[in-house]
Structure 1
Amino acid sequence: MKDKNYASFIITKIDNKENYQRLENYILNKFEYSEIIILINDSNVKDIKEYLSPISNNVLCLNLGNNIDENNSIRAGLEFSKGDIVFVIKDLSINKLEDYLDNLYESNKKGIDSSFLTSKYYRLKDKLTISLISIFLKHKLKNVYDIIFLVTRRVINAITEDNSKTTPISYIIRDIGYNYNEFECNIRDKKYYMSKQTRSVYLLLFSEASSNFAASLSLLSAIIAIVTGIYALIIYLSNKPVEGWTTTFLFLSFSFTMIFAIFSIIIRYLSVIQKELYNKPNFRVKSVSKL
């Protein structure tokens, strides 16, 4: 007997026709009411329809134009989705995909609002990126790649109220306060790597964190510059300079003043970037087509 819940499935990438058809058969056999949302970027919808030959009569293609940011693409899919539960699938090629989807759905039936099937980033530069950013962030990031995740409608409603332009969507979901769980997927023959687009999102996140760090250093530099300048002036006016100390403190005073000026410029530059990011829409939908 089919489940009566309305379920939406958001697919970020289709690697081949067979994997898509396998998922579609699972959806049609599992749920009485469902929809599939395929996220595309300036692709020909007619070609996609001919290639996939979908069986379901409720398949949508969300054309996001030249947007290549996976996080914002997923945001668009979530906001266009319907139903009480929404699955987001980033990789259709994993073995036992249907079993993993069942596990996430069973967690939802037990009252869990968000469930994640996760793996890890394995490249050293990916690990270093996450570790470096976590040093300066209030909320620590984990070395986690979400292969599949499920969210409820109230989680999606909370996401739409979040104004963050750079925080990855999976971290927003984990941080909004609803209960969630994770299942780690140990795939020996597959390793996930951070894309250039994802890394750029993390670097923007790092720029937000580093602005506070730069502000603290600039304030410290200003205080040290003032103290050293006053101390050097007192020594000079007393006509009893200690050999070498006057020159040293004057040099330090000048150096820290320059550092202060440099950090001021950095903070001003970062604030402009952050303002532009804040005013930028999360996503733009070019067209919505039904296959």
Structure 2
Amino acid sequence: MDNKEKSFVSAVVYAHNSGKDICSFMEMLINELEKNFESSEIILVNDHSTDGSIEMVKDICHNASTCSVSIVHLSYFHGLETAMNAGNDLAIGDIIFEFDSTLLDFPADTIMNAYKELLAGNDIVGVAPDKDESFSSKMFYRVFEHFTGTKMCSERFRVVSRRLINRVNSVNKTVPYRKQAYLTAGFHSKILRYKQTADKSYVKDKAEQKNRSKLAVDSLILFTEFGYRLSKFLTISMMIISLFMIIYSIVVYVSAQPVEGWSTTVLFLSISFFGLFAILTIIVRYLQLLVNLVFKHKRYCFDNIEKITK
């Protein structure tokens, strides 16, 4: 007991149709927390799983002794960020491990390595595989870094301090994209790389894939100048087209070779309205995000909270 860490730690785990991976993952996590910490808790956020994976993992959770395990059942599919925010709101640990999936391709001791890096003076330690992420993720992070100057990568999990969580929550009523909110909070951060123990990839169903794609677009609009620059580009393009049409009309008039103007007018109006509505779409998206941030303090709905262990 004397060799165990005194800090109370929480582990928030996201689960949505995790299949058989969740059993081996939870078994590993419970074992590591009980082996290294005197007091710990696991909050498993069940984001409306329909594959029976949550029922499969309950027997493993019942075997926990010093680690408290709770399962938060969300009443309908909320998506990764909202579900993890729900878990973080319930976590009481001084240090919080955030597992965005139950994919287990890292050595078990990586958990304690990340914890030690946090104690070394960091408030957020991201844990990422040493190989490159998927093409879509790589492109997203490149665009994000280009517009914000913030370097990010696909993390398997992260460990954050309580003071970082408190800082982010005091600034934002809701946290639409935790990674960016953490990195802009002003605290020290570090990325810890590991060599994958298995050649696995996280398989998302259609609902989760759609949610993460929407999250990527929302994050680019909310945290970067992507929307502004796109609208600026469209505006300049419209001006150039307008100028070209003016010059074209003058040349036709001066050359005394009049042509039917209906098709030209329709083409010009079509392009102009296309650009105008594109700009309006971006503005409307901005307003929608602002409304969500200002008025929707709690965007998740509990079905029930099931206490597995005392």
Into which bin does the TM-score normalised by the smaller protein fall?
0.7 to 0.9
**Residues 228, 252 of structure 1: 8 Å contact kept:** no
Change (3 A) 1:223 1:82: same
Instruction: Identify which range, 64-73 or 76-85, moves more after superposition.
Output: 64-73
The residue correspondences of 1:19-58 to structure 2 (distance < 5 A) are: 19-42=25-48, 48-50=57-59, 52-56=61-65, 58=68
Over 3 Å counting, the alpha-carbon distance change for 1:123 and 1:180 in structure 2 is: closer
The alpha-carbon distance between structure 1 residues 182 and 129, as it changes in their structure 2 partners (threshold 3 A), is closer
CA-CA distance at 1:153 after TM superposition: 0.9
Counterpart AA for 1:33: S
CA distance in 2 between partners of 1:233 and 1:12 (Å): 61
**Deviation of the 1:64 alpha carbon:** 2.3
Match status 1:150 vs 2:162: no
User: Which residue of structure 1 aligns with residue 185 of structure 2?
Assistant: 176
Which residue is equivalent to 1:263? 275
RMSD, aligned α-carbons = 3.6
Q: 1:19 to 1:122 in 2, by over 3 A?
A: closer
Stretches of structure 1 lacking an aligned partner (at least 5 in a row): none
Give 1:85 deviation, angstroms.
0.8
Whole-Å separation in 1 of the counterparts to 2:227 and 2:272: 14
| 8 Å contact kept, 1:114–1:180 | yes
Moved more, 77-86 or 266-275: 266-275
Shift of 1:127: 3.1
Deviation, structure 1 residue 60: 1.5
- Residue 215 (structure 1) aligns with: 231
1:272 and 2:289 are equivalent in the alignment: no
TM-score (norm 1): 0.78
Task: Give the percent of matched residue pairs that are identical in Structure 1 and Structure 2.
Answer: 18
CA apart distance, 1:284:
0.6
Moved more, 85-94 or 145-154: 85-94
Aligned residues: 282
Alignment of 1:101-112 (within 5 A): 101-112=111-122
Consecutive unaligned residues in structure 2, runs of 5 or more: none
Which residue identity lines up with residue 122 of structure 2 in the other structure?
Answer: I
- Distance in structure 2 (CA, Å) of the matches to 1:144 and 1:86: 20
Shift of 1:223: 3.1
Q: 2:194 aligns with which of 167, 173, 185?
A: 185
User: For residue 87 of structure 1, what is the aligned residue in structure 2?
Assistant: 97
Partner-residue secondary structure (3-state), 1:138:
helix
- Whole-angstrom CA distance in 2 between matches of 1:178 and 1:4: 23
Following TM superposition, by how much is the alpha carbon of 1:27 offset from its aligned partner in structure 2, in angstroms?
A: 1.4
